[in-house]
Amino acid sequence: MTRLTLGLVADTHVPDRRRRLHPALLPALRAAGVSQILHAGDISRPRVLAELAQVAPVLAVRGNRDWFRSDDLPLTRCLTAGGVRVGLTHGHGGWRAYLADRLRYLVMGPQSFEFFAERAVAMLPDAQVVVFGHSHEPMITQLGNCLVINPGSACCQALPGRGPTFALLHIEGKKFEAEIVSMDIQPAKQ
């Protein structure tokens, strides 16, 4: 049985938060032998997708920072990889939901990981695996029958002492598992 590995990337924010991709990202994806890369939005500039495509074919969705791609990047995608239905979204839910979230944030504080995970699963009800970004919090959890993965931010430190992250989704037959990969913390001016 063949094992398939997908690279899961989100929130690269090049160049609005970083000048370029984290220097460990492309080599780590190559070393993992990924056959495809899924980018869960907040790409910020098209050149990021071109750089990732040097490693493997890339599928991406639009995040709240992806103004340049509003016409050709969808809010959600669903694909079948090795017999497993994988859903991809940024998790912000489009502009109306994003603006409502910002207002809610100002009044009540930040939303929980579960809030965004539940929204992502609701947007992709037929998926066995849902990948989303937006919160920059790396997390793997099970919601009902769905494995939910946030690869974290590939540009920015989300948790104290932990560098930027991405995830790998391993599929073998009908079985699948995910792992979060942490990269070294790099100076902010890179």
Please tell me the distance from the alpha carbon of residue 13 to that of residue 182, in angstroms, as a whole number: 17
Assign 2 a pLDDT band (cuts: 50, 70, 90): confident
**Domain-located, residue 188:** no
- Average the pLDDT over each of 68-77, 106-115, 119-128 and give the range with the smallest value: 106-115
Element (H, E) at 52: helix 47-52
What CATH code is carried by the domain that includes residue 173? 3.60.21.10
The tens digit of pLDDT for each residue in 48-104 reads 999 999 999 999 999 887 766 566 889 999 999 999 999 999 976 666 766 666 566
Q: Which residues contact 141 (CB under 8 A, 6 or more apart)?
A: 113, 117, 147, 148
pTM: 0.87
pLDDT for the residue 63: 86
Instruction: Classify 68 in phi/psi space as left (phi over 0), alpha (psi -120 to 50) or beta.
Output: alpha
- Please report whether residue 105 resides in a domain: yes
**Does residue 187 lie in a domain region?**
no
Q: Give the pLDDT confidence of 131-178 residue by residue, as tens digits.
A: 999 888 899 999 999 999 999 999 876 666 678 999 999 999 889 999
Report how many domains make up the chain. 1
Domain-located, residue 28: yes
**Residue 189 within any structural domain of the chain:** no
- Cα 121 → chain centroid: 14
Closest CA to 11 of 122, 121, 116, 97: 116
CA distance 154 to 167: 9
Pairwise pLDDT comparison (63 vs 113), residue with the higher score: 63
Give the domain range for residue 82.
Answer: 3-182
Residue 54 falls inside a structural domain: yes
Give the per-residue pLDDT at 170: 98
What are the CA-CA distances from residue 82 to residues 31, 47, 87, 128 (Å)?
20, 28, 14, 12
